[in-house]
Structure 1
Amino acid sequence: MKAQLIDVGLSSSKSIHIKKVDEFFLNSPFHFHHLCELVWVEKSFGKRIVGDNIDNFDGGDLVLMAPQLPHIWQNDELFYRKKKGHRVKATVIYFPSDFPLNLTDEQNILSPIQELIKKASRGLVFYGTTSQKVSQILSALSKEEGLTKIINFLEVIDILSHSTEYRHLASISFKNLYEEKDTDRINKVYQFLMQNFYRDINLQEVADLCNMTPNAFCRFFKSRVQKSFTQFLNELRIGHACKLIQNETYSIADVCYESGYNNLTNFNKFFKSITGFTPSKYRKKSELVNPVTSKPLNY
């Protein structure tokens, strides 16, 4: 089950490339490539998978990924209705991992950058004042030309390399085991699950996407994703529940059923096993978190 190795369309592998996204919804498949990728989501929300990590994303999302790290961002369902007010705006920067390193041989400058790229092999999501500073620079970066663009990009890398306001995404044990022949199959499965996790899902219908028997599919899925299909689906559902539960207009029961569970007992069990908190305690904890300056809640 392999993410697609894609050509991101750079004319030179020695340069940085800035892409502005302004679309109704994100449509890239589950993929990886040979470049580092910095993603700043100015406006949008949905689900993202980076390596073996499943999480929500929202406006302000700032993620750095090293080469060869599989990933996909997918919007929530309402973006596909193309309604006014729901649109994706984002800035994506591709750059070779050695680009900043080739500009100097001073070790006191190189060491933090080398460490940043190493940590980004698992994917890093930044928050707090780091995210604020970088967002301000990125909002204007695509309009810059020549040396000014390079200087501002290097300022971003410098801020990120000295920041402590981040968390890893993929687990420390994650390895990219994907094979090219399985690209279509895993992409179909991920997109299907992200679009349908809120309802009852029959294992047979997912296995049919890959033209496999249920048993063969479960073995295939676990060998590539490095977690069972059931575990993956529960993490996807609980991740969505973590997002809903921070909105007090939803009762705990509402969150349960909106996240794909049929009864509160199962919901409470999986919620605590994945997040370490009961739903009610997670809600209380989320009320204490400042969304701008504090570390985001993880599960």
Structure 2
Amino acid sequence: MQPDLELVTVRHDESFKAWYHGYPYRTVRWHFHPEYEIQLIVATTGKMFVGDHIGRFAPGNLVLMGPNLPHNWVSDVPEGEVIEQRNLVVQFGQDFVARCMESFPELRQAEALLASSRRGVSFGEHTSEIVKPLFFQLIDARGVRRIALFMSILAALMDARDIEYLASPAYQPDPTAFGATRISHALSFIGQNLASELRESDLAQLSGQSVSAFSRYFRRHTGMTFVQYVNRLRIDLACELLTDSELSVTDICFKAGFNTLSNFNQRFLLTKGMAPSEFRRNQRLNDASREASEAAAARGHGIDNAPSIVPAVPSLTHARAAPVARLSH
């Protein structure tokens, strides 16, 4: 059975995603994603599926999975029973890992572990007991403490000796083949056409489903309606443009795919709690504060001319698309 693609979203002000979910839950199905994942089971027993591996799990089950490795944990829970918190999850991208290793050469020691994660790495009770309190703290941590806790968890996994590889050595996940699933086609089309008019009926036709069937399938997969999903991606793109470009708010409105400035302002206010112009002012205030702090620190170390700060500008592929009018559903 082809795995479904899970869309992992990381907040623009965070480096990785740390969260938990219960059971049943929409991601409890045979699925994959391009991100690394560390998962710790804290409740229920059942069967785990990782690549071509099938085994049992219980509370304390701790697994590191590499990019695009299909997986699923199915709990032995009576029908109708709901578990509020079954597992803790950390998901982090390959680009994040690469940037960390470039900035901190010491982290290259993690390369062997991350390479092994393509098969799924299960850790024993000793390592699980070390990681568990760090994991619980990480879920609610903010700011620099998140980074410190993440690094502590990664260090514990690197030091572990109680490990077991799950998928067979010959198992090779094929994300190209996985990408042929209906929902993967739909999500890819949306991402490539954010600034265009997007109709749910057109996406349903692309997926070979009726509109009602596609709507149910899309919501089960993403946790939101088609309109909510598209609006969220467009707001995320607008935030990037407001932060990293000098475009006017009006230009950003249309580059992000909104058909009117009033609609854009309304959606942005509902999502971010402030107008786009206020969001940009706050971001610039934050940048100015950082630059002033770094300049003051440089002067304190006897450097007369502090270096200018040139922020890295991410590739905004969506921003180059031609602006079109409206979202239909």
Q: Please, which of 124, 127, 142 is the counterpart of residue 139 of structure 2?
A: 142
Matched, 1:120 2:117: yes
Structure 1 residue 61: Cα displacement: 0.8
Q: Using the alignment, how far apart are the partners of 1:9 and 1:106 within structure 2?
A: 23
Q: Using the alignment, how far apart are the partners of 2:145 and 2:134 within structure 1?
A: 11
Q: Using the alignment, how far apart are the partners of 2:32 and 2:13 within structure 1?
A: 15
The 8 Å contact of residues 30 and 71 in structure 1, kept in 2 or not, is answered as yes
Structure 1 residue 153: Cα displacement: 0.5
The 10-residue stretch of structure 1 (127-136 or 55-64) with the greater mean CA deviation from structure 2: 127-136
Between the aligned residues of both structures, percent identity stands at 25
Structure 1 residue 102: Cα displacement: 2.3
Q: TM-score, normalised by structure 2?
A: 0.50
The 8 Å contact of residues 16 and 93 in structure 2, kept in 1 or not, is answered as yes
Q: Please, which of 94, 99, 105 is the counterpart of residue 97 of structure 1?
A: 94
- Please tell me the residue identity of whatever aligns with 1:173: A
Q: Using the alignment, how far apart are the partners of 1:143 and 1:87 within structure 2?
A: 16
Q: Using the alignment, how far apart are the partners of 1:47 and 1:138 within structure 2?
A: 22
Q: Using the alignment, how far apart are the partners of 2:12 and 2:103 within structure 1?
A: 25
Q: Using the alignment, how far apart are the partners of 1:21 and 1:99 within structure 2?
A: 23
Q: TM-score, normalised by structure 1?
A: 0.54
SS at match of 1:149: helix
SS at match of 1:156: helix
Matched, 1:170 2:167: yes
Q: Please, which of 118, 126, 129 is the counterpart of residue 126 of structure 2?
A: 129
Q: Which residue does 1:43 correspond to in 2?
A: 43
Change (3 A) 1:95 1:82: same
SS at match of 2:7: coil
SS at match of 2:38: strand
Q: Which residue does 1:21 correspond to in 2?
A: 21
Matched, 1:110 2:137: no
Structure 1 residue 23: Cα displacement: 4.0
SS at match of 2:137: helix
> Where do residues 59-70 of structure 1 align in structure 2 (5 Å cutoff)?
59-70=59-70
Deviations 1:185-219 (A, max 9, x none): xxxxxxxxxxxxxxxxxxxxxxxxxxxxxxxxxxx
Indicate the RMSD between aligned Cα atoms, in angstroms: 2.6
Q: Which has the larger radius of gyration?
A: 2
Q: Using the alignment, how far apart are the partners of 1:95 and 1:136 within structure 2?
A: 20
The 8 Å contact of residues 25 and 75 in structure 1, kept in 2 or not, is answered as no
The 8 Å contact of residues 122 and 171 in structure 1, kept in 2 or not, is answered as yes
The 8 Å contact of residues 43 and 87 in structure 1, kept in 2 or not, is answered as no
Structure 1 residue 100: Cα displacement: 4.2
Q: Which residue does 2:53 correspond to in 1?
A: 53
Structure 2 regions of 5+ residues with no counterpart? 184-329
- Please tell me the residue identity of whatever aligns with 1:157: L
The 8 Å contact of residues 38 and 65 in structure 1, kept in 2 or not, is answered as yes
Q: Which residue does 1:271 correspond to in 2?
A: none
Deviations 1:138-173 (A, max 9, x none): 122112110001111011111111211110000000
Q: Using the alignment, how far apart are the partners of 1:172 and 1:153 within structure 2?
A: 28
Q: Please, which of 136, 153, 158 is the counterpart of residue 155 of structure 2?
A: 158
- Please tell me the residue identity of whatever aligns with 2:28: S
Deviations 1:125-147 (A, max 9, x none): 10132111011211221121100
Deviations 1:67-95 (A, max 9, x none): 010111111242x3317xx6542211100
Q: Give the count of matched residue pairs.
A: 181
Q: Which residue does 2:5 correspond to in 1?
A: 5
RCO (CA 8 Å, sep 6+): is it higher in 1 or 2?
Answer: 1
- Please tell me the residue identity of whatever aligns with 2:99: N
- Please tell me the residue identity of whatever aligns with 1:81: G
The 10-residue stretch of structure 1 (89-98 or 105-114) with the greater mean CA deviation from structure 2: 105-114
Q: Using the alignment, how far apart are the partners of 1:145 and 1:15 within structure 2?
A: 11
